Amino acid sequence: MTGAGHVLDLSVERQDEYSRFLPLVKWLLAIPHFVAVGFVAIGAAFVTIFAFFAVLPTGRYPRGAWNYMLGLHRWMTRLNAYVLLMSDRYPPFSLGEEPDFPARVELAYPEQMERWRPLVAWLLIFPYVLVGSVINFIAAVCVVLAFFAILLTKNFPESLFRFVVGATRWNRRALAYGHFVATKYPPFSLS
């Protein structure tokens, strides 16, 4: 399942069958990832500050800093796919592209961006984030329903799966715009 119409593309492949009892322990197995991503996110805060002061005078996001942020988005997407039951495959500890993993993020590098963007991107994203909070609540309900569906049938219902993927896509786009690694305002769409 892939999203179109935005510079950030997130896709997650739905499995034919899910492990019946893995959802019971996924949260526990994901703890090392949460710790590692926490440290990477601390680094991302410094990278964002660095990029802020680089974009203001030059209008360019430093490529290495941008790659670091993209790597964080990729890792968080793989972790979300695992924890939100979309994939049974344990995610790699990696900032790099993992083309064989079922959850992937692609984002086009902006060669040039408006110098004002770092000053207001975090503010402009608020309406999108407010709508996103409602979508996240609904997605959490979908994951709970999927949890029981997987326990009983080994299947993540497709409609629930599509909604959770859409909510994940919504979150990634909000973060990418808020961190000004994406220059196009995200669409009010789950696709």
Give how many domains the chain has, as a whole number: 1
Residue 152 predicted with pLDDT over 90: yes
The rounded distance, in Å, linking the Cα atoms of 28 and 64 is 33
Tokens representing residue 129 in the block: 């984030």
In a domain, 30, yes or no: yes
Residue 120 belongs to a domain:
yes
Q: Is residue 45 part of a domain?
A: yes
Look up residue 2 and give its two tokens: 């892939």
pLDDT tens digits for 55-95? 999 999 999 999 999 999 999 999 999 999 999 999 999 99
Which residues have CB under 8 Å from 87's CB, separation 6+? 12, 13, 15, 78, 81, 101, 102, 103
8 Å CB contact between 79 and 27: no
pLDDT digits (tens, 9 = 90+) for 161-181: 999 999 999 999 999 998 889
Q: Is 139 part of a structural domain of the chain?
A: yes
Mean per-residue pLDDT of the chain: 93
Any domain includes 184: no
| Residue 159 placed within a domain | yes
User: What's the domain range around 129?
Assistant: 8-178
| Domain annotation covers residue 3 | no
- Give the span between the Cα atoms of 68 and 115, in whole angstroms: 20
